[in-house]
Amino acid sequence: MKLYEYLAKEVFAKNGLPVPPGRVARTPEEAEAIAAKIGEVAIKSQVLAGARGKAGGIAFAGTPKEAREAAARLLGAEIRGYRVEQVLVEEKLKIDREIYLGISIDKAAKAPLIIASNQGGMNIEEVPEKHIVKRWVDIRLGVHPYVGREVARRLELSGDIAKQVADILVKLYRIFRQYDAELVEINPLVISGDKVIAADARLNVDDDALYRHKDLPLVEEGTELERKVKALGLAYVELDGDIAVMANGAGITMATLDVLQSYGGRPANFLDAGGGASVEQTAQAIEVLLMKKPKALLINIFGGITRCDDVAKAIVQVKKTRGIPVPMVIRLVGTNEAEGVEILRENGLSAYRSMDEAARAVVAAARGEA
C-alpha cells in the first residue's frame, strides 16, 4: 500500500526525521489560511504518482492569495491519471543541494538495499550508475550509525551535513523495518543552509503486513481506470506510452512490453487478462484500453486455459458494438487457434503467429507507417 506524501511525512516526523512545516488542504480557502501562517509555500498535489512536478502538479506561492489561486488550479485537476482531491501546503525550502536516499528490498539478494545519490530531485533510474551508492543491509545487524557515516562519505558529504544525513539514514531504516515497508524514499533530501530536510517522502507498506499497522489509514491505490479494470478481475497498470497492450499471463505481458520497447514502441499499459477470462470480460478489457485513446492496440494471446476462439469473439464483439478506431494488431497462438483465426478472418481481421512480427507491426502502426 502506498501512502500519500503527507501521510508518509507524518510517519517520518513521528520518527524524528526533519520535514517542512505544512498541512493538507482540501479547498482553496484552506490553502490560503495555511499559507497565511507559513509564508512562502509549495503547494503539492497529493496523488500516488511520481514526477508530479513535470506533470504540473506542484506550484509555488509567495502570498496567501497566490496560494488560494494555485490550490484552485490544482484541486480537481488530473495528474498522471489521478484526480487531485487534496494538496499539501508546506514551507518553500531554500535548496542548496539535493540528495536521493531510499531503502527497498533486493529480491535477488534477499536483503534490504540502501540506494543513495548526490544527484537527487530526479528519477533514480535516470541517474548514471557512477553517481549511485548502493549498500546491502545484513538484516541481523541492521543500520547503525557507522553505516550512515559510510554512505554519507561515499556521497562526498562532510562535517555536520554528513552527520545529519547519517542520522536520517539510520532513522529511515528504522521506519523501513517498523512499518514492514517495501520502499522508503526521500527524493529530494534537501540541504538548505546548515540543515538537511526531507522535501518529499514515500512509504510503501507490504499489503500482507497491513494487519500489523492498524494506525495507518487504508489508502485505495490506482487511477480511476486501474480501479475499473481491477473490478473486472484483471491486473492492470497504467504506463505513459501510446500503444495499448493486452496479453494473458504476467510473464507474457511483461515480455510483450519488453519486445515493444526493443522495437522503439512505448507501451501505454500493462494488462494481464489471465487465464480463462470470459468473452464478456475480454471485451470489456479491450473497451477500457480504447478509453485511453492509444495510437495502436496490440493483443498478444498464447492460449492455454485461454481459448483463442473466445478472444476472437470478444474482439469481434467490440468491433461490432463500439468500433475499434485505432490500428489493431493481433497475435493468436494456442488452444483453439484455428477456430479463433477463422472467426477473425470472417470479420475482416487477421492474426500473427510471431510475437516479434506483431510487435514490429504495431510499432509501425503507432508511428503511422503502416
Task: Give the active site residues.
Answer: 100, 185
Are the C-beta atoms of 205 and 182 separated by less than 8 Å? yes
Residue 297 backbone phi and psi in degrees, to 5: -130, 130
Q: Which residue has the cell 509549495?
A: 42
Q: What are the grid coordinates assigned to 197, written together? A: 530536510
Q: What are the grid coordinates assigned to 368, written together? A: 503511422
For residue 128, whether the previous peptide bond is cis, meaning omega lies within 30 degrees of 0, is no
Size of the chain in residues: 370
Q: What are the grid coordinates assigned to 31, written together? A: 490553502
What's the half-sphere exposure (Cβ side, CA atoms, 13 Å) at 245? Answer: 37
3-state SS assignment for residue 357: helix
Centroid of chain to Cα 336: 37
One DSSP character per residue, 319-341 reads HHHT---S-EEEEEEETTHHHHH
